[in-house]
Amino acid sequence: MILQRLGAVLLVCLPVACTTGISSNPASSIPDRIVTERGGFIPEGIEYDTRNSRFLTGSLSDGSIYEISNSGRLRVVVTDEALMSSVGIEVDEMRNRLLVANADRRAGTGAALLGIYDLATGDRLAMVDLSGSIENPPADANYFANDVAISAAGTAFVTDTRMNIIYKVDRYFKPSVLLDLGQNSGFNLNGIEYHPEGYLIVVSSGSGQLLKVPVNNPQRWSLVALDFPAAGGDGLVWAADGGLVSTSNNTSSVMKYASDDHWASAGLTGMASFTGQATTAAAVGDDIFVVQPHFADDDPPVILRARF
């Protein structure tokens, strides 16, 4: 965390924002529990669009991007026949864009693409074939674009859980492989976040480990030493105080970590539990909200406030 003084106002600069600290919490008007008006769309990824004061989710079942109101009403904001399964999503408010990890849940070799859309209109700006950037892929290659993060410069980073690859997509929509750990490495790269110091934090859902990956030297990646594993780690999101929140998809909880050594190590500072399975979370002001997709039934998905 960086503290700056501007006149008589103290600025608190965190990985996700720099604010005066005197504005009201935008989450105060959001209910603790939002039940969507129907089920079946399976929203695995969630984001909060502060520019338009709305929750956005993807859909594993139909690929569309939905806006979810505080009353649970659904509105389709992106429809694209090229979206097969929208998994992780990321709002890039600086450039008025929405980035979507596009996978394919059907049998076969899967898919790893990145959809980029105008945040206001939902128009497609690009559909990037990530898997096409792999040189000499193995014969048994199986792809699954899972989550996406964005740097301050506009570079996107996408995890491929089945291939254990992190892709990089530059501002001109050119993809490349940033780091390839191999299909049989034992990792299950899932949630990803970018830190303004120039590195990525990635969670391995199978092992509960966090990886720190320097963007300019990815081969020097390292494991973050944790005092408590991020078991079932799925989505990652920076909290307003600079902590990192990991949503567990198998323990009905979210775990919050803090680091005082630039994420060489991190300690658990809080845990919020709830009933039912959640996958990812969104930060809204000082609060964290998780989404419960309902993979196994057609019950309406739910957005819950996590209370630490």
Round to whole Å and give the CA distance between 65 and 276: 23
How far is residue 130 from each of residues 78, 83, 199, 250, measured CA to CA in Å? 20, 14, 20, 28
Rg for the chain, CA atoms, rounded: 18
Round to whole Å and give the CA distance between 111 and 107: 10
How many other CB atoms are there within 10 angstroms of residue 286's CB atom?
12
| pLDDT for position 15 | 55
Amino acid at 195: H
Of 16, 53, 59, 57, the residue nearest 41 (C-alpha): 59
Would the pTM count as exceeding 0.85? yes
Contact (CB, 8 A) for 114 and 128: yes
Q: Residue 107: helix, strand or coil by DSSP?
A: coil
Per-residue pLDDT of the chain (308 residues; tens, 9 = 90+): 333 333 333 333 455 444 444 457 889 999 999 999 999 999 999 999 999 999 999 999 999 999 999 999 999 999 999 999 999 999 999 999 999 999 998 878 999 999 999 999 999 999 999 999 999 999 999 999 999 999 999 999 999 999 999 999 999 999 999 999 999 899 999 999 999 999 999 999 989 999 999 999 999 999 999 999 999 999 999 999 999 999 999 999 999 999 999 999 999 999 999 999 999 999 999 999 999 999 999 999 999 999 99
Burial of 298 (0-12, 13-18, 19+ CB in 10 A): exposed
Of 288, 217, 294, the residue nearest 257 (C-alpha): 288
Round to whole Å and give the CA distance between 281 and 291: 6
Contact (CB, 8 A) for 58 and 43: yes
For the chain, report the end-to-end CA distance as a whole number of angstroms: 21
Round to whole Å and give the CA distance between 80 and 122: 9
| pLDDT for position 47 | 98
Q: Which domains does the chain have, with CATH numbers?
A: 2-306 (2.120.10.30)
| pLDDT for position 263 | 98
Phi first, then psi, for residue 159 (nearest 5°) are: -90, 145
| pLDDT for position 108 | 85
